[in-house]
Structure 1
Amino acid sequence: MPDPTSTSTNAANRLNRLPISRFHKLATLALAFAYFFEFADINTFATTAPVMREQWGVTINHIAYVTSLSFVGMFLGSVVAGGLADRLGRKRTLVATTIWFSIWSFASVFAWDIVAMGVFRVMTSAGLSAMTVVAVVYMNELFPRAKRGKFQAYVIVIGICGTPATNLIASAVVPLADWTWRLVFLWGALGVLFLFFVRRLVESPQWLESRGRHAEAEQILTRLERDSTAEHGTLPEPVAPAPAGPTTKAGLAMLKDKRFLYPTILLSVLWISQTIGFFGFSSWAPTLLAAEGVSVEDSIFYVALTTVGAPLGSFLASLVTDRFERKWCLVVFGLIIAASGLLYGLTFTPLLIVAFGFLVNLFERGYTALAYAYSPELFDTKGRSLGTSISYGLGRLSNAAGPLIIAGLYGGLGYQAVFYFIAGTWVVGALALAVFGPATRKARLATEAAAVPTV
């Protein structure tokens, strides 16, 4: 039995040797619910923007400015959340950020013009991005290393259903009356029901240990070990903690440490290419199709059909994430997305629009699930929240320029130029990972081997 007075509870290794138990399944369900409405809320503005153009007389450039500012909100939200998660804890910050985005999504129901909508979307987007960063870190620190990729993908499988659900709801309610598009934002606000799951979650013992709160960490670890033993039998002994390396002061001072700076830069490239590549596609597809002569109803319906591929992509990620090297899975998925997105932009045949859009959503959501598992693995506990939040936040911030670039390309060079640009961003991200991305599978296999009981 670990000594409660010890200066280390060996939290990471004790959690890594736990089998998947009832707690992990309940946490998966809770986080999947939060993700469901996060993905739902991300798409509410994109699906209702064509109606705002008609009712409020706004232009493509107005839509671009609102979308751009939303990504500024995402950057601010993710960076603030990284600091809050380090200061207040993973669980408390997860709850606060979910409440935040739900409140502002509800406010969007009552927007009276594009300026008010822009303000509400910035505030909503800040909460969405903040919640995502904290949830990614929470899963990384609570789930055993050898299995966390698979369960991160399972969370996305369920959560990503919020995208097609929102698009299908929008396609059903938007045409009903002049005001019914507002119901789409009311739907996004239902993420606040996540509060019903809160009591099922625990604080991260790794975070508690990093803050010197060893007694609290020990209490949670003992409870999880006791419940796991009752469910699965005797547990293997945990691996001894590795000797502590040179310490770095927490906070932005870690940017001076190459062990922190290098993965932060690499992951910033990953999230920048993913953000511009994905949101350039998903946020603009309904509006650009409508601008090219496809009816608003048909454009929303086509996009709704393509997003059916999203949960399947996350499921595909669950099959490969712990079996193969995540770095190379990300490279392959990124190149497939680039090709599929480009072909989407080269056709106006409804069947091909749906088919190529389906492939983009399939592999992009798989890519995102893989990236959520890969990103926090490149940091230790002290740098995990800050490094993940900075890189993810810079990715979101990059798309403040993305919509303006897309609007400029569309106005100057036409519809197809937009999709050449989007495909190019995916290729850049894939090449950066292929050349500079560190492998993580060897460490996962070592952890899995250590968790096997000796006879």
Structure 2
Amino acid sequence: MQNANAMNRMNRLPVSGFHKTMLLAVSFAYFFEFADINSFATTAPKLIDLWGVTVDHVAYVTSLSFVGMFVGSLAGGALADRWGRKLALVRTTVFFGFFSLVSVFSWDLVSLGAFRVLTSAGLSAMTVVGVVYINEMYPAAVRGKYQAYAIVIGICGTPVTNLIASAVVPLSDWSWRLVYLWGSLGLLLVLFTRHLKESPRWYESRGDHAKADEVLREIEARVTAELGPLPEPAPPVAEAPVTKAPLRLLLQRKYLLPTLLLTVVWVTQTIGFFGYSSWAPTLLAKEGFSVEKSVFYVALTTVGAPLGSYLAALVTDRFERKWCLVAFGTVIAVCGLLYGLTFDPVLIIVFGFLVNLFERGYTALGYAYSPEVFDTRGRSLGTSVSYGLGRLSNAAGPLIVASLYTHHGYRSVFFFIAGSWLVGAVTLAVFGPRTRAARLARTAQQEKAATV
């Protein structure tokens, strides 16, 4: 077989039970990623009292976690290309779930920090794989919407975990460990394995057209049995097989410019979001709020997160994603700054709610936008490197936050965070490519082929 025509055959499929099962599996992985990603932030106020942890100690552990995220991001892209999208998704989720479970048995800050670094590596690896998997398995016309739907479901892990933490952390000197036990339930993704299919586009990119065709026929048979006959796909476009994308590939102009752009996007998003979410409970506690109140206030603000992802689902395929990202980033900067300028509990909750709402919408839009600026050959590598550099940048972020707080006070932290979001918004506005026209063109081509 010369060409399995995987992209066009996948693009002409209507959304079916097959897609919904896959959405549920990826959403499950995302749920426990978001459940686990802020576990240390929710337990840090308790550890300050229990182990004598300082703000600087929190900064060091958080910084090292982002080094782990960087390594995990690079590994995620490489593993997705080597193992395939499905197998890499399962294995990276099992990896972070295992080390979250091990974190339950931490005996001091050093051991907990080491386990959190390994957990963070798995979290980022899974995220990169999940983004690429959805990008290749959903029709182009609805890809962004379903990427956002996965985040809508997955992001519920944040408020659920924060509410659980607010209830269990104050109970006793050991109950904070339950937060990490909860995060380890991502291990149960293995139950979905037999319901998932490998990406035919991955097989095709490796030159294995026969295997790509085999998987496509299985998927098409399932969709046809559920929804009836399928339209004809658009004609195939021949692509040279690629077995591995070397790192030097990103030095080519067609890959270098989008990689640099997305690096700025993910650097500012990482510093902006984690500067807020990783520090809010600790800084509120340091400013005189009790551990119980600081964790509870932050838990209430994260209720906005699923709504933000749903908002992204409503706009992502209807408008240009670049401009949606610019608008969301600007709103986050304003609301985040207002959050830092008040100590009124009601306003803290309101502005924190809005920060979480628009930030998670921004993240969902970014997950859909990032893979679209690359072709199949550079997609995993470009996405993983830019996302990984974003995570690596925040190895310095917590140290900056700790220094700002120590030398310039509480509010200076939020000026810094707002500035980060604005830099990302301006960079996207000036340099970000538009991707909507290409999506619409592919959809029009598919519709034309279906009528022939």
Is the structural similarity TM-score above 0.5? yes
Who is 1:302 aligned against? Answer: 297
Instruction: Name the structure 1 match of 2:317.
Output: 322
Give the alignment partner of residue 82 of structure 1, picking from 77, 85, 91: 77
Residue of structure 2 equivalent to 1:56: 51
The alpha carbon displacement at 1:255 in A equals 2.0
Matches within 5 A, 1:8-407: 8-242=3-237, 244=239, 250-407=245-402
Residue of structure 2 equivalent to 1:454: 451
8 Å Cα contact 1:248/1:257 also seen in 2: no
Letter of the 1:328 counterpart: W
Kindly state the Cα deviation for residue 450 of structure 1 after the two structures are TM-superposed: 2.8
**Letter matched to residue 264 of structure 1:** T
Residues 15 and 142 in structure 1, CA contact (< 8 A), matched pair in contact too = yes
**Distance in 2 between residues matched to 1:244 and 1:202, nearest whole Å:** 22
Quote how far apart the aligned CAs of 1:341 are: 0.1
Distance 2:124 2:147 in 1: 17
Aligned equivalents of 1:245, 1:310: Cα separation in 2: 41
% same residue: 69
Q: Which runs of 5+ in 2 are unaligned?
A: none
1:339 CA drift (Å):
0.1
Q: What stretches of structure 1 of length at least 5 have no aligned partner?
A: none
Q: What is the CA distance between 1:249 and its match in structure 2?
A: 7.2
1:420 match: 415
Worse-matched range after superposition: 403-412 or 212-221: 212-221
**CA distance, structure 2, for counterparts of residue 431 and residue 39 of structure 1:** 27
Kindly provide the amino acid, as one letter, of the partner of residue 80 in structure 1.
A
Aligned partners of 2:373, 2:341: CA distance in 1, in Å? 38
Separation in 1 of the partners of 2:137 and 2:57?
Answer: 42
Contact 1:28/1:151 (CA < 8 Å) preserved in 2? yes
Measure how far apart 1:380 and its partner are: 1.0
Q: How far apart, in 2, do the equivalents of 1:316 and 1:247 lie?
A: 37
Q: Using the alignment, how far apart are the partners of 2:100 and 2:376 within structure 1?
A: 32
Amino acid at match of 1:349: D
Instruction: Select between 386-395 and 254-263 the one with higher mean Cα deviation.
Output: 254-263
CA contact 1:272–1:399 (8 Å) conserved in 2: yes
Measure, in 2, the Cα distance between the counterparts of 1:353 and 1:164.
16
Number of matched pairs: 450
The answer (yes or no) to whether the contact 2:96–2:120 under 8 Å persists in 1 is yes
What is the one-letter code of the residue matched to 2:127? T
In the TM superposition, what is the alpha-carbon distance from 1:244 to its structure 2 partner? Answer: 4.5
Normalised TM-score (structure 1): 0.97
The 8 Å contact of residues 142 and 317 in structure 2, kept in 1 or not, is answered as yes
How far did 1:232 drift?
2.3
Distance 2:62 2:138 in 1: 34
Q: What is the RMSD computed on CA atoms of the aligned residues?
A: 1.4
Aligned mates of 2:196, 2:243 — CA distance in 1:
30
Amino acid at match of 2:213: E
Report the alpha carbon displacement of residue 257 of structure 1 after superposing the two structures with TM.
Answer: 1.3
Asked whether the 8 Å contact 2:10–2:139 carries over to 1, the reply is yes
**1:451 partner SS:** helix
Structure 1, residues 229-268: CA drift from partner, whole Å, max 9, x if none?
2222232221223354899972112023111111111100
Kept in 2, the 8 Å contact 1:175–1:297? The answer is yes
SS at match of 2:451: coil
**Are the equivalent residues in 1 in contact too, given 2:67–2:391 (CA < 8 A)?**
yes
Q: Comparing 431-440 with 225-234, which one deviates more in the overlay?
A: 225-234
1:286 alignment partner AA: P
Query: Distance between the aligned counterparts of 1:355 and 1:137, measured in 2?
Result: 34
Q: CA deviation at 1:13?
A: 1.1
Whole-angstrom distance in 2 between the partners of 1:247 and 1:86 = 10
Q: Is the 8 A contact 1:74 1:128 kept in 2?
A: yes
Normalising to structure 2: TM-score of the pair? 0.98
CA distance in 1, matches of 2:237, 2:256: 22
Q: Which digits, 9 at most, give the CA deviation of each residue in 1:380-429, with x for residues without a partner?
A: 11111111000000000000000000000000100000000000000000
Mapped partners of 2:244, 2:409: distance in 1? 50
CA distance in 1 between counterparts of 2:229 and 2:392 reads: 48
3-state SS of 1:19 partner: coil
- Specify the code of the residue in structure 2 equivalent to 1:24: H
Given the superposition, is the C-alpha separation of residues 258 and 247 from structure 1 closer, same or farther in structure 2, using an over 3 Å criterion? farther
Superposed CA deviations along residues 333-368 of structure 1, whole A, max 9, x for unmatched, are: 000000000000000000000000000000000000
Task: Determine if contact 1:13/1:241 at 8 Å carries over to the other structure.
Answer: yes
Q: 1:443 to 1:77 in 2, by over 3 A?
A: same
